[in-house]
Amino acid sequence: MIDFISQPWPWYFSGAMIVLIMLLLLFFGKSFGFSSNLRTMCSMAGAGKKVKFFDFNWRDQMWNIMFLLGSILGGYIATKYLGSPSPLRLSPATVSDIGALGIRFDGRLNPESLFSIEAMGDVKKMAILLFGGLLVGFGSRYAGGCTSGHAISGLSNLQIPSLIAVVGFFIGGLVMTYLLMPLIF
């Protein structure tokens, strides 16, 4: 059984699981999104006493917190116990492109040149990660949700604002990839 679980699965399996989860959420009248968990945790900590945005019944969102914790636990188990010992396979063109940006591909999902303790000593890399995190946080709040909430849940519910947000995410990703990343790296 472990051999079966630890093998790479086809891409369409995850798509089918997303469909199943979305059907269950629609059936139970729930809306999915990871960024809403931050709002829930702030509310749990008492931020609703100071800021109206956090003043809501956070107990109604405990199912989403459990989903978040399950995702973290599942990711840890998959990485620690079910991960493939063989290196990640990327196309030679992708390896060449990220190499041109100064990122050495080492066969891992998170390259050591960006995500190691030594990389944290590089002021430029830390500034990029900090600024990127601030932009993601601002964008999630400004768009009223994150990519998973809008692209998966919002589009499943046929929400026009989610369609606009997803189009914006793609345009932003293209601008970042083709215009800004070459300037930053």
115 vs 174: CA distance, rounded Å? 23
Predicted local distance difference test score (pLDDT) of residue 13: 92
Does the pTM of the predicted model rise above 0.75? no
Whether residue 140 contacts residue 35, with contact meaning beta carbons closer than 8 Å, is answered with: yes
Where are the strands (E) in 58-167, listed by range? none
Count of other CB atoms within 10 angstroms of residue 54: 19
Residue 133 amino acid letter: G
Q: What angle, rounded to 10 degrees, do the helices at 62-81 and 36-44 form?
A: 110
Q: Cβ of 103: how many Cβ atoms within 10 Å?
A: 15
User: What are the residues whose beta carbons fall under 8 Å from the beta carbon of 26, sequence distance 6 or more?
Assistant: 156, 157
| Domain residue ranges in the chain | 1-83
pLDDT tens string, the chain, 185 residues long: the values are 777 777 777 889 988 998 898 888 888 888 777 888 888 999 999 999 999 989 999 999 898 899 899 989 998 988 788 877 778 888 999 999 888 888 889 888 788 888 888 888 888 888 888 998 898 888 888 888 888 788 888 888 888 999 999 999 899 999 988 898 888 87
Question: How far apart are alpha carbons 22 and 114 in whole angstroms?
Answer: 34
> Would you give the DSSP letter of residue 146?
-
Q: At what angle do helices 123-143 and 160-175 cross, to 10 degrees?
A: 160
- Both tokens of residue 174? 């293209």
Residues whose CB falls within 8 Å of the CB of residue 35, separated by 6 or more in sequence, listed in order: 140, 141, 145, 146, 148, 149
